[in-house]
Amino acid sequence: MKDKKEFSMILNRVRTVVNGSSDRNRKLKSICELLQGNFSCYNWVGFYIIDESKKYLVLGPFAGAPTEHVKIPVGEGICGQAAERKETFIVQDVSKEMNYLSCSPKVRSEIVVPIFKNGEIAGELDIDSHSLSSFTREDKSFLEDVCQIVSELF
Q: What pLDDT was estimated at residue 100?
A: 63
Q: What pLDDT was estimated at residue 97?
A: 73
Q: What are phi and psi of 150, to 5 degrees?
A: -65, -25
User: Please, are residues 44 and 62 in contact by the beta-carbon 8 Å criterion?
Assistant: yes
Whole-prediction pTM value?
A: 0.94
User: Please, are residues 144 and 130 in contact by the beta-carbon 8 Å criterion?
Assistant: no
Q: What pLDDT was estimated at residue 110?
A: 94
User: Please, are residues 150 and 31 in contact by the beta-carbon 8 Å criterion?
Assistant: yes
Least confident of 15-24, 63-72, 93-102: 93-102
Q: What pLDDT was estimated at residue 98?
A: 66
Using one digit for the tens of pLDDT, what is the confidence trace for 30-81? 999 999 999 999 999 999 999 999 999 999 999 999 998 999 999 999 999 9
Which residues are within 8 A (CB) of 27 and not within 5 positions of it... i.e. 6 or more apart? 17, 18, 20, 153
Q: What pLDDT was estimated at residue 1?
A: 55
In terms of DSSP bridges, do strands 109-117 and 120-129 run parallel, antiparallel, or are they unpaired?
antiparallel
User: Please, are residues 128 and 107 in contact by the beta-carbon 8 Å criterion?
Assistant: yes
Helix ranges (H only) for the chain are: 4-18, 24-38, 77-85, 137-150
Q: What pLDDT was estimated at residue 96?
A: 85
Residue type, 115: I
CATH class of 4-153: alpha beta
